[in-house]
């Protein structure tokens, strides 16, 4: 086997009681996506249950009387009054399972859901599940480059690009299966940093291969999106400017989009990183982010395209003496004044926190503040800052906290989940995106356990009410089967992994104590003496960035009562204390411990947690495939060493800065 099928690696379930349903599938429609649903059900039946399925076309129209028939089997029924937007209902009665949906996507998601239930050994008798996706857009953003490398990729090379060419191969289809099986409906295949060849993806040059990719994606209800280069009119069109207000620039984009959508009519639209980390954008011409986004929005509107405009705009050359400029403020400061100024087919894509995917950050204050602008939440399952898929770090608990955050933008339905689902402000163009963690490795994600983040992101974006535990269990049972001891150990590892990573890395929300550029391993001062605006401001008395009113004022970008909550030291959530305030090492936390003692204790604890994870994993020998066991064991051994390195560097740094001894007298260098 060249690569595994992750959670779709079906293992035989000879004793499954619901086998009989799968002998016959009755289907009404003949469209492509329903065809995929049928194919997947048959494949699941064959591989999981060893059954050959007969597919029976139902008579048209399929009325009430036919529904009364007693033939056993699975019925895929489209019903215009049924669940919409990819929603579905699965109901069992008298040996018949009906999957009903208004659209074929719903039938596909319902079928994958049914297969999951079988994989997990759940009885289908009397089942009645009604599911509606919470988020209209559920997207993966791949940072894949055309040369085959992946920016922040930790699982091999790109399977979308190689040697400056688009790859469409067997793996494309298997990727689509995995991705669609958890409800993802949009994929950006190329890096947001668009340079050289990638700029040409919108031209006819790559149209044939992109069309082939689209064909595969559409069978699985996935839309293709591309990242674009704001300076394309200059780089491709030979214009002297990319000014969004210049007539020749507008005309160039309109012509180009005509060609692009002629080549790929079902293209969803574009993701844009502008004016960020050296990428071109409207600021060069004294224009706003809205002027830039709207110009593109106009060009794609005739084709139903959307522009997803990233809010990751900040000045990455901050002087360390400047204590007023605050990278945390920048997205808010640039975009808040533009609320309501974006076209309907523009969506602002906002990173979950105001900095950059650290293990702990507050939620971006743009959520809740922006009321008249389509918004999407961007999270990162590529573990750039959370152990790079060498450490286990199951991020779904983090995403749950973010989604559950009350912004107080309204009396009810005021959480991030409410906002990005469109519930708060009746938005239709909105949802969730994750920077993807896949690559050409045999297990897709480098670390076998990192697949739980890919699976989990999709499941969560579809159903934000699922708990991190439920998702972990689902993933684990689909991937490894239902052996109780296995499920217990793996779920325990997953659920303790994010808190452990937080404990042994940077303390209390401060972030950034890792090696500059490659972002792996400890380096407490690595960013302190650099230009990126990511300081911790530690000295011999204390540590933290003052972001209250007397500091950068970032606390005041939140709506009340959050602004006051973060402003006051007594009410500021302790896990974020150093993000918001400079605090002395002798400050007493609610636990009664001093800040410095907390730093020591949490770092020792974090490594102990990893020791526990290692021993839980060791207990799985012989219970899961040998190859997976060994692969993960190797990474866990490394994680243990690396976490100890983190502990020692952080603890000795603070010991030497503060000169305060560990109360417990442990080894600190
Ligand atoms: O965190 C930074 C990464 C960059 C990335 C950027 C972004 C794609 O280090 O590699 O560029 O974020 O989100 O645009």
List pLDDT tens digits, range 458-479.
999 999 999 999 999 999 999 9
Counting from 1 in the atom list of ligand 1, the atom nearest the Cα of 152 is: 10
Counting from 1 in the atom list of ligand 1, the atom nearest the Cα of 151 is: 10
Rounded CA gap, 404 and 396, in Å? Answer: 12
Mean pLDDT, all residues of the chain: 96
From atom 13 of ligand 1, which residue's Cα is the shortest distance away? 312
pLDDT mean over 358-378: 98
What ipTM did this prediction achieve? Answer: 0.99
Q: Is 527 near ligand 1, meaning CB less than 6 Å away?
A: no
Contact present, 599 and 648 (Cβ < 8 Å):
no
From ligand 1's centre to the CA of 641, what distance in Å? 27
Residue 347, H or E segment: strand 346-351
The pLDDT value given to residue 63: 54
* Residue-wise pLDDT tens digits, 49-90: 999 999 999 986 655 555 555 689 999 999 999 999 999 999
Q: Is 455 near ligand 1, meaning CB less than 6 Å away?
A: no
Q: Is 273 near ligand 1, meaning CB less than 6 Å away?
A: yes
Q: Is 369 near ligand 1, meaning CB less than 6 Å away?
A: no
Q: Is 279 near ligand 1, meaning CB less than 6 Å away?
A: no
Contacts of 543 (CB under 8 A, 6+ apart): 510, 536, 537, 578, 582, 583, 585, 595, 654, 657
From atom 1 of ligand 1, which residue's Cα is the shortest distance away? 356
From ligand 1's centre to the CA of 461, what distance in Å? 22
* Residue-wise pLDDT tens digits, 183-212: 999 999 999 999 999 999 999 999 999 999
Cα distances (Å, whole numbers) of residue 9 to 37, 44, 475: 17, 10, 12
Q: Is 647 near ligand 1, meaning CB less than 6 Å away?
A: no
Residue 371 has pLDDT above 80, yes or no: yes
* Residue-wise pLDDT tens digits, 100-140: 999 999 999 999 999 999 999 999 999 999 999 999 999 99
* Residue-wise pLDDT tens digits, 317-332: 888 888 888 999 999 9
Give the pair of three-digit tokens for residue 366.
């743009």
Question: Residue 432's beta-bridge partner residues?
Answer: 138, 377
The pLDDT value given to residue 323: 86
From ligand 1's centre to the CA of 34, what distance in Å? 38
* Residue-wise pLDDT tens digits, 587-610: 999 999 999 999 999 999 999 999
Q: Is 142 near ligand 1, meaning CB less than 6 Å away?
A: no
Rounded CA gap, 147 and 424, in Å? Answer: 42
Give me the active site residues, please: 277, 356, 384
- For the chain, which domains are there? 7-131 (3.30.379.10), 137-467 (3.20.20.80), 504-545+582-658 (3.90.1330.10)
65 or 310, which is more confident: 310
Counting from 1 in the atom list of ligand 1, the atom nearest the Cα of 385 is: 1
pLDDT mean over 363-374: 98
pLDDT mean over 393-403: 98
Q: Is 193 near ligand 1, meaning CB less than 6 Å away?
A: yes
pLDDT mean over 416-427: 97
Rounded CA gap, 374 and 384, in Å? Answer: 27
* Residue-wise pLDDT tens digits, 265-291: 999 999 999 999 989 999 999 999 999
Contact present, 323 and 552 (Cβ < 8 Å):
yes
Contact present, 297 and 346 (Cβ < 8 Å):
yes
From atom 2 of ligand 1, which residue's Cα is the shortest distance away? 356
Counting from 1 in the atom list of ligand 1, the atom nearest the Cα of 193 is: 8
The pLDDT value given to residue 69: 59
Do the strands 161-162 and 165-166 form a parallel or antiparallel pair, or are they unpaired? Answer: antiparallel
Rounded CA gap, 400 and 498, in Å? Answer: 12
From ligand 1's centre to the CA of 395, what distance in Å? 18
The pLDDT value given to residue 60: 66
Q: Is 535 near ligand 1, meaning CB less than 6 Å away?
A: no
Cα distances (Å, whole numbers) of residue 301 to 19, 298, 306: 48, 5, 7
Counting from 1 in the atom list of ligand 1, the atom nearest the Cα of 380 is: 13
The pLDDT value given to residue 1: 58
């Amino acid at each position: 086997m060249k690569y595994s099928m992750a959670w779709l690696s079906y293992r035989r379930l000879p004793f499954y009681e619901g086998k009989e349903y799968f002998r016959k599938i009755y289907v009404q429609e003949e469209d492509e996506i329903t065809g995929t649903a049928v194919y997947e059900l048959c494949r699941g039946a064959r591989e999981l249950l060893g059954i050959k399925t007969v597919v029976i076309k139902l008579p048209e129209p399929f009325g009430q009387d036919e529904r009364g028939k007693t033939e056993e089997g699975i019925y895929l029924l489209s019903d215009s009054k049924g669940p919409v937007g990819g929603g579905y209902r699965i109901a069992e009665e008298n040996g018949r399972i009906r999957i009903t949906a208004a659209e074929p996507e719903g039938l596909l998601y319902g079928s994958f859901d049914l297969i999951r239930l079988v994989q997990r050994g759940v009885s289908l008798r009397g089942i009645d599940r009604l599911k509606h996706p919470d988020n209209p857009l559920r997207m993966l953003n791949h940072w894949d480059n055309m040369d085959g490398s992946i920016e922040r990729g930790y699982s091999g090379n790109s399977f979308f690009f190689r040697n400056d060419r688009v790859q469409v191969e067997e793996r494309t289809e298997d990727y689509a299966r995995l991705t669609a099986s958890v409800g993802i409906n949009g994929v950006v295949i190329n890096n947001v940093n668009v340079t050289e060849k990638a700029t040409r993806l919108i031209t006819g040059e790559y149209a044939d291969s992109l069309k082939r990719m689209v064909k595969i994606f559409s069978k699985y209800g996935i839309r293709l999106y591309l990242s674009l280069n704001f300076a394309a009119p200059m780089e491709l069109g030979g214009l002297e400017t990319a000014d969004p207000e210049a007539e020749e620039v507008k005309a160039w984009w309109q012509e180009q989009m005509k060609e692009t959508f002629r080549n790929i009519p079902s293209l969803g639209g574009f993701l844009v990183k502008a004016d960020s980390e050296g990428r071109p954008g409207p600021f060069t011409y004294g224009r706003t982010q809205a002027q830039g986004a709207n110009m593109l929005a106009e060009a794609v509107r005739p084709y139903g395209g959307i522009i997803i405009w990233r809010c990751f705009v900040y000045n990455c050359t901050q002087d360390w003496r400047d204590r007023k400029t605050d990278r945390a403020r920048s997205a808010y400061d640039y975009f808040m004044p533009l609320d309501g100024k974006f076209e309907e087919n523009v969506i602002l894509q906002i990173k979950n926190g105001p900095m950059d995917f650290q293990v702990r950050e507050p939620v971006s204050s743009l959520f809740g503040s922006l009321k008249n602008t389509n918004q999407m939440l961007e999270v990162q399952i590529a573990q750039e800052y959370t152990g790079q898929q060498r450490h286990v770090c199951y991020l779904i608990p983090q995403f749950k906290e973010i989604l559950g955050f009350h912004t107080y933008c309204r009396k009810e339905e005021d959480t991030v989940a409410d906002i990005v689902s469109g519930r708060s402000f009746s938005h239709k163009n909105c949802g969730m995106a994750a920077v993807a963690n896949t690559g050409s490795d045999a297990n897709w994600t480098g670390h076998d356990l990192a697949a739980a983040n890919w699976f989990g992101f999709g499941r969560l974006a579809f159903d934000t009410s699922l708990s991190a535990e439920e998702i972990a269990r689902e993933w684990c049972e689909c991937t490894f089967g239902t052996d109780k001891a296995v499920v217990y150990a793996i779920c325990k590892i997953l659920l303790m992994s994010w808190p452990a990573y937080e404990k042994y890395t940077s303390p209390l929300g401060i972030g950034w104590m890792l090696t500059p550029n490659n972002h792996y391993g400890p380096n407490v001062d690595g960013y302190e003496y650099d230009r990126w605006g990511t300081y911790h401001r530690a000295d011999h008395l204390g540590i933290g960035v003052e972001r209250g009113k007397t500091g950068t004022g970032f606390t005041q970008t939140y709506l009340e009562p959050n602004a006051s909550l973060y402003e006051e030291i007594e009410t500021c959530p302790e896990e974020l204390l150093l993000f918001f305030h400079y605090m002395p090492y002798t400050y007493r936390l609610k636990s009664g411990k001093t800040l410095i003692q907390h730093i020591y204790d949490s770092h020792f604890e974090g490594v102990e947690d990893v020791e526990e994870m290692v021993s839980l994993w060791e207990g799985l020998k012989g219970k899961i495939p040998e190859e997976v066991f060994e692969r993960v064991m190797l990474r866990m051994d490394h994680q243990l060493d690396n976490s100890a390195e983190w502990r020692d560097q952080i603890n000795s740094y603070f010991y030497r800065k503060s000169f305060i001894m560990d109360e417990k007298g442990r080894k600190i260098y």
